[in-house]
Structure 1
Amino acid sequence: MSPPPSPLAVLPLPLLLLLLLLSAVSPAAANAAGAGAPPPVPTPWPEQFHAVVFTNLTESGGRLQLIDLYYDWPGGRNLNLIRDQLSGDPLYDVEWTNGTSYFFDSGFCHSRLFPVGLLPPDWLAAGSVYLGREHVDGFDCHLWTKVDFVWYYEEVATGRPVRWNFFNGMQQHVMSFEVGGVLEDSKWQAPAYCFNGGDAGTANVDAVGVDSDAGRSGRVDVMNSLIRFAGAPAAAVAASFDQ
């Protein structure tokens, strides 16, 4: 079930996120799980995993992407290796638990600071609303929504994530999910030109909410901030905008 486009999408990003976080859960959504039985609890993510994700950005004016996602909660890091359709140079998005992210390819680097940090494995546990069961991508799934911008599909039989939908029309389909999948440490290191200031594409670390001056990472900046805020307490999100 793809969510309808939200009229709030025209609002500036900080205001939009605050409105979404402050919006009340509708009674209809709360009752979607059915009367009598408590709704199921989302399965926490493994502390380490590797997933291959197919991303469809066409409804929001973007392209198709194939992403290798490496999640390493004990190591305090997350990596998205992003390959755009018909593009030979992948984009690395390396995120650290202190909120710092580096976006780089063979000749470009941009850094940003997301004060919320990484999503914890149980990011969906608090504040999500169960919407019932859906048959999506050929799988019987539980469906949750959180702060009205992410819809999360989990396979009933295994607890594996199957798909994420976002309020702006972006869809992410999980093609493979390997629990315990790790990546060697050398792959996480940002290149030297991210730190020497000599590359024209390099920007100083700035606060979330500031428009990106690096075009290729701009869409990734926005979506990663949305994903991180989805797992954050409302107070933490509000505090990040007060800085």
Structure 2
Amino acid sequence: MADSKLQIRVVFHLITTTLLCLFLSTAVGSTIVPEQSEDPKPKAWPEQFHAVLVMNNTKTSELQVVDLWYDWPNGRNLNLIQHQLGKLLYDVEWTNGTSYYFTRKGSGNVEPECKIILFEVGILRPNWLDGASYVGEEYVDGFLCNVWEKVEFIRYYEDVVTQKPVHWLFYTGRAMHVITFEVGAVLEDSEWQAPVHCFNKETEEHETFAHLPEHPHQFMRDSVPLAAAV
């Protein structure tokens, strides 16, 4: 009889212990709130870099190769634009809003060209993508990329693994494909200097951003909507 009572007590103890453990685990589990994963953030541009880009206009099929030199500490940005079977154009942009578009002697032009354009804002800042809306992941040029959109002006594609830029698509239809991206590269100062014919009163041309609703080579110039969004 005593043995039966002991067995009953043991069984009862096991049952109550099991129920208590289940209750505690359920109660603890119900108080844990799973962490909400944040959207990825685009990596800020390095303050100095050199990139080789292939640019095509999806609306006109125009094709160009661009040597891009970004130099934030010195307040300047240069796009060396080779038109397909055409001229080599220098686009030198300064943080004070001045841009020089010119060709040099020997670049396939009978007469060197130059145009000076005054923009309302400076070159793109390294953190110009701050505030961009995350779109998701997408394969572009064979790379899995995180994608952001900035004020319906540009879609920016960044490699998920390396965080290097892969592709930019502008609302104008211009698409940039990044071929190389060299962090820390700096172009020698002599290449930034506008040639003498840019300052010849007979050939010098000035225009302002307001008179150029869509200049074909302003893709690196800090546009008014982007400047206002940051």
TM-score by length of 2: 0.77
Paired position in structure 1 for 2:173 = 169
Specify the alignment match of 1:233 in structure 2: 228
Task: Specify the alignment match of 1:32 in structure 2.
Answer: none
Which runs of no fewer than 5 residues in structure 1 stay unpaired?
A: 1-34, 236-243
- Give runs of aligned pairs for residues 97-116 of structure 1, distance below 5 A: 97-106=95-104, 107-116=112-121
Partner of residue 82, structure 2 = 83
Q: Offset of 1:218 from its aligned partner?
A: 3.9
Residue 42 and residue 218 in structure 1: after superposition, are their counterparts in 2 closer, same or farther (change >3 A)? closer
User: Is 2:208 aligned against 1:207?
Assistant: yes
| Aligned: 1:132 with 2:136 | yes
Which of the pair is proportionally richer in strand? Answer: 2
**Is the CA contact 1:116–1:232 (under 8 Å) kept in the aligned structure 2?**
yes
Q: Is the 1:54–1:174 Cα contact (8 Å) retained in structure 2? A: yes
Within a 5 Å distance, the mapping from 1:178-189 to structure 2 comes to: 178-189=182-193
Partner in structure 2 of residue 95 of structure 1: 93
Residues 120 and 231 in structure 1, CA contact (< 8 A), matched pair in contact too: no
CA deviation digits over 1:159-190, x for unaligned, max 9?
10000011222110000000011110000000
For residues 158 and 220 of structure 2, the distance between their equivalents in structure 1, rounded to whole angstroms, comes to: 20
CA positional deviation for 1:112:
0.6
Cα distance in 1, alignment partners of residues 89 and 74 from structure 2: 21
Structure 2: which 5+ runs fail to align? 1-34, 105-111
CA contact (8 A) 1:123 1:230 kept: no
DSSP 3-state at the match of 2:217: helix
Count of residues in Structure 1 that have an aligned counterpart in Structure 2: 189
Task: For residue 195 of structure 1, report the CA deviation from its aligned partner.
Answer: 1.1
Structure 1 position 220 matched with structure 2 position 217: yes
Distance 1:86 1:96, change over 3 A: same
- The one-letter amino acid of 2:123's match is L
| Kept after mapping to 2: 8 A contact 1:144/1:153 | yes
Q: How big is the shift at 1:219?
A: 1.4
Matches within 5 A, 1:1-150: 36-57=36-57, 59-61=58-60, 63-87=62-86, 89-106=87-104, 107-126=112-131, 128-150=132-154
Structure 1, residues 136-173: CA drift from partner, whole Å, max 9, x if none? 11111100001112000001111100000112221100
Paired position in structure 2 for 1:238: none
Structure with the bigger RCO (C-alpha within 8 Å, sep 6+) is 1
In structure 2, what residue type is equivalent to 1:196?
N
Task: Tell me, in whole angstroms, the C-alpha distance in 2 between the residues paired with 1:122 and 1:62.
Answer: 31
Q: Which amino acid aligns with 1:111?
A: I
In structure 1, distance between residues paired with 2:45 and 2:223: 14
Q: Secondary structure at the match of 1:123?
A: coil
1:109: Cα distance to partner? 0.2
* Partner Cα distance (1:115, 1:166) in 2: 20
The CA deviation at 1:234 is: 4.2
Contact kept, 8 Å, 2:167 with 2:176, in 1: the verdict is yes
Report the secondary structure of 1:233's partner residue: helix
